[in-house]
Amino acid sequence: MYEMLTGPFFWISMLVFWIGLLVRAILYIRGLDWQLDRVAYRAHPKIGAKFALRSIGFWLLPFGTQGWKKQPYMTVAFFLFHVGAVLVPLFLIAHNIFLENKIGFSLFTMDQGVADFLTWAVILGTILLILRRIALPEVRILTTAYDYMILVISVAPFITGLIARYHIGDYHFWLMVHIFCGELLLILTPFTKLSHIILFFMSRAQLGMDYGIKRGGMKGEGMAW
Ligand code: HEM
Ligand code: HEM
């Protein structure tokens, strides 16, 4: 089982994740239509890029946008969850040792204490995100079982990773459960809302360009529309 999970399944999950996200990004760009969107994307690449980066930057900054400021509970829950969700899988020592052995390549690694702390933060963030979906009527009416499923799939590698890390119960069993959950997350990402890992950047860039090029960013510069 371990050989399967760290051999063919590992490769399949990596390929599906990276190629899948690339395809989603390409399809997003191909779906843009400057005439329908009424944004001259190509005609003003410089100002477009500037406002695209600006929009992404403010959204990645806690309390950076009006939306984050108006919803402080969501901001705290979101960043508690996302800082660890993005950084731990990439920079965990154990993951990079695994990668080094597998493909002879590894990234910068973070301190084990920091990784533990961020992983607990992901779990706390998930609880806060679930409570928000239950407590706020305007979020509750939009919430379906699918939203909870995405949260469970997302947090599973963090819970099982910690169980393995603290050697609770049978280490090898929990490590295999962990790797299975991690690979499941990677494989499902391009086909579910988890594709926001790339589509967040695409849609923020698009809207940033929209604001920069059309809705005021180029005011007074002789735009035809
Ligand atoms: C793709 C296959 C994966 C493999 C082979 C793998 C392997 C491992 C290994 C060997 C450990 C260390 C267990 C120990 O300390 O003894 C670990 C821990 C962990 N992994 Fe993974 N993992 C994978 C995917 C993922 C994914 C996709 C995520 C998150 C999205 C994730 C999150 C974690 C976390 C949070 C820990 C524990 C962190 C801590 O030490 O505090 N893993 N993983
Ligand atoms: C660079 C990477 C990422 C960015 C920029 C990002 C951004 C976002 C944004 C903007 C939202 C919507 C928040 C809202 O409702 O207002 C969101 C939600 C969510 N993200 Fe991410 N994300 C990233 C990576 C990840 C990863 C790696 C995971 C899973 C391990 C993840 C899991 C989730 C989940 C489960 C939600 C829904 C939360 C809820 O139910 O309220 N994200 N993300």
**pLDDT for res 45:** 85
Task: Domain count for the chain, please give it.
Answer: 1
Q: Whose CA is nearest to atom 2 of ligand 1?
A: 179
Residue 162 CA, ligand 1 centroid: distance in Å? 8
Report which bound ligand comes closest to the CA of 165. Answer: 1
CATH number, domain of 139, equals 1.20.950
Which letter does DSSP use for residue 224 in this model?
A: -
In sequence order, what are the residues at sequence separation of 6 or more whose Cβ sits closer than 8 angstroms to the Cβ of residue 26? Answer: none
Domain that includes residue 159, residue range: 44-214
What type of residue sits at position 17? F
CB 62, CB 75: distance < 8 Å: yes
Q: Which atom of ligand 2 is nearest to the CA of 139?
A: 41
Instruction: Print pLDDT tens along the chain (225 aa).
Output: 999 999 999 999 999 999 999 999 999 999 998 888 877 788 888 888 999 999 999 999 999 999 999 999 999 999 999 999 999 999 999 999 999 999 999 999 999 999 999 999 999 999 999 999 999 999 999 999 999 999 999 999 999 999 999 999 999 999 999 999 999 999 999 999 999 999 999 999 999 998 888 877 666 666 665
Q: Pick the ligand that lies closest to the CA of residue 74.
A: 2
pLDDT value at residue 20? 98
Measured from the Cβ of residue 176, the count of other Cβ atoms closer than 10 Å reads 18
> 77 CA distance to ligand 2 centroid (A)?
11
Residues belonging to the chain: 225
Residue 60 domain flag: yes
Is 11 a member of any domain?
no
Residue closest via CA to ligand 2's atom 6 equals 197
Nearest ligand, measured from the Cα of 90? 1
Please tell me the distance between residue 132's alpha carbon and the centre of ligand 2 in angstroms: 14
Q: Is the pTM of this model over 0.75?
A: yes
Give the span between the Cα atoms of 188 and 150, in whole angstroms. Answer: 10
